Structure 1
């Protein structure tokens, strides 16, 4: 590095230090996944940088580890214990129903597309339903297609019958019922321990967790379906009182760094991590099976998943939204986004 570049780096560091010292507001963000997870390794640090730069240092973002069950993060943010955070919508069944439109099996092939489509659908169809009363929504995203991590080979869909499988809630529970597995409800981070101790025979999770939850140590098989078996919707939220305490200029700056931009970042980061998860599984000797569209297991799964879209439509009948139009809108967004790649 030459002297000019060195001086620029020092100057930039000085500016950053001054902006941090001069911060008028600190946003404490609760996060609950391992440090290597893309949410902690990529998404939060990037958003922190975006926010601090956009607010010219008036707002400082501090990321803090959250040790309680991730389903309590919404309450922790709502009650002001933390200023912001994220978690799985399905961990609070009945509260956030609308975002499950992105969880219908067979709708998306990658997390970035699903995340952007979900945010756009929320803005067009769901926002007025006010599901986030008591919270201020910053972004929505989904992880990559959920796959089968098992301690047994899945040579046919019928091999899952009677097996104990960890489920996290949402529409995967409906699919699990059709697969005739024995569902065991638990948060995603519990998967390693439950598989290691023999509490479950496998788990439904995206491929990335072969690396980040170390499932490569407790799985014998990773079976990958072209569009997965499901996906999971997450919400990134901030305490509304904290948000409203900011100047209008800083509110606008934070939302410019959030919304679709943050949704896209989150989806892309989690999607890229799936590739790393598959590589990790192969390196650790896990039997990785990549299924094609014409594989009988894929055809059987598609048949079992028929009608789950209608289950979602029926489940949101108590919300003041046009569910059929929202589902069509979500699908159109997915198609449009994919066509531009």
Structure 2
């Protein structure tokens, strides 16, 4: 062997160990704080499951700080800044309308049931439409239905009582719900909510006790208005850049898909558990539950939101939105019946 051949052979041998131990690393961005239940289940635990399913051949790196604002997660992954992310449907509502079926009023009586219902509906009806351009959706999850927590002396004990109430709501469909009820919607970053409440800027907020506890405003709540299924909710999708997904091997894709299967049920159950744990703390807070004629009146006020979704779904290629809505609700009922009583 000549000198050149020896050099080549030596180089190949030197590289061999690194080739044999080469692994795929995915950057999974997270904008939620480390203690957040959704982050723990849909990001942290999912990342561990990926590494387990692939026997360590695929590793996941979660940056210490988010690589983009919460409302830019979809674009961030699509543009290749990170490989994977979790994003709310509300932040991409102009691009992604179909998944907002879970954000509609009365459609999230349980986070676990709604998460499973959305994922099954997505796979059956929405995936073929391909709304998520440039990314591959791996799982969906839905937060518990949003309720009304009064932080002032204005008790919302009827549909008409919403009139004129300064109601904090997340941007998107819930803001439209607040308007439909005659309230005055107030938007802000979630991080500014404590200041809004403590200074009396708002009369009430649309959220669950768990979210209020996370925002440090639960002690300010004077009454609760409980709407079965919620005034609406917030759905999320976990996705990976399509280009990155296509670059993986068949075995890697199959392993990641297996790891993602647990997300809807696990993330949903964790959110439900978090709310249930607060039951003793909120037991002393006066609570009004919409039922009977008042619930029917509420349904009438909120019907426009559902009709708007149906119109958007039809524009996106869903031939029979009523069929899709019926399917989603049938899965809800099935999962609610299967859940053990708290």
Fold shared, TM-score > 0.5 on shorter chain: yes
Are 1:319 and 2:316 counterparts? Answer: yes
Aligned counterparts, 1:262-277, within 5 A = 262-277=263-278
The alpha carbon displacement at 1:296 in A equals 6.7
Q: Within 2, Cα distance between the matches of 1:321 and 1:296?
A: 33
| Higher alpha-carbon Rg | 2
| Runs of 4+ in structure 1 over 4 Å off | 277-282, 295-300
The alpha carbon displacement at 1:275 in A equals 1.9
Contact 1:30 1:84 in 2 (8 A): yes
The alpha carbon displacement at 1:211 in A equals 2.2
Q: Per-residue CA shift, 1:89-134, capped at 9, x if unaligned?
A: 1122311100111122123310111111111111111111111111
Contact 2:93 2:172 in 1 (8 A): yes
Structure 1 spans left out of the alignment, 5+ residues: 1-20
Relative to structure 1, the CA distance from residue 99 to residue 316 in structure 2 (aligned partners, 3 Å threshold; closer, same or farther) is same
The alpha carbon displacement at 1:38 in A equals 0.4
Structure 2 equivalent of residue 139 of structure 1 = 139
Relative to structure 1, the CA distance from residue 232 to residue 336 in structure 2 (aligned partners, 3 Å threshold; closer, same or farther) is same
Structure 2 equivalent of residue 226 of structure 1 = 228
The alpha carbon displacement at 1:52 in A equals 0.6
Structure 1 equivalent of residue 81 of structure 2 = 81
Match of 1:304 among 297, 301, 305: 301
SS in 2 for 1:208: helix
Q: Within 2, Cα distance between the matches of 1:73 and 1:112?
A: 23
Structure 1 equivalent of residue 169 of structure 2 = 167
Give me the TM-score of the superposition, normalised by structure 2: 0.83
SS in 1 for 2:26: strand
Q: Within 2, Cα distance between the matches of 1:190 and 1:68?
A: 19
Contact 1:52 1:59 in 2 (8 A): yes
Are 1:102 and 2:99 counterparts? Answer: no
Q: Within 2, Cα distance between the matches of 1:275 and 1:221?
A: 18
Structure 2 equivalent of residue 53 of structure 1 = 52
Structure 2 equivalent of residue 10 of structure 1 = none
Aligned counterparts, 1:1-341, within 5 A = 22=21, 24-64=23-63, 65-66=65-66, 68-152=68-152, 153-157=154-158, 158-258=160-260, 260-281=261-282, 288-292=285-289, 294=291, 298-322=295-319, 323-341=321-339
The alpha carbon displacement at 1:29 in A equals 1.7
Structure 2 equivalent of residue 5 of structure 1 = none
Greater mean deviation of Cα atoms: 227-236 or 34-43: 34-43
Contact 1:118 1:140 in 2 (8 A): yes
Give me the TM-score of the superposition, normalised by structure 1: 0.83
Contact 1:106 1:229 in 2 (8 A): yes
Contact 1:211 1:280 in 2 (8 A): no
Q: Within 2, Cα distance between the matches of 1:87 and 1:196?
A: 29
Greater mean deviation of Cα atoms: 137-146 or 24-33: 24-33
The alpha carbon displacement at 1:273 in A equals 1.7
Contact 1:111 1:267 in 2 (8 A): yes
The alpha carbon displacement at 1:160 in A equals 2.8
SS in 2 for 1:337: helix
Relative to structure 1, the CA distance from residue 293 to residue 203 in structure 2 (aligned partners, 3 Å threshold; closer, same or farther) is closer
Relative to structure 1, the CA distance from residue 63 to residue 212 in structure 2 (aligned partners, 3 Å threshold; closer, same or farther) is farther
Contact 1:33 1:40 in 2 (8 A): yes
Relative to structure 1, the CA distance from residue 136 to residue 155 in structure 2 (aligned partners, 3 Å threshold; closer, same or farther) is closer
The alpha carbon displacement at 1:254 in A equals 0.2
SS in 1 for 2:29: strand
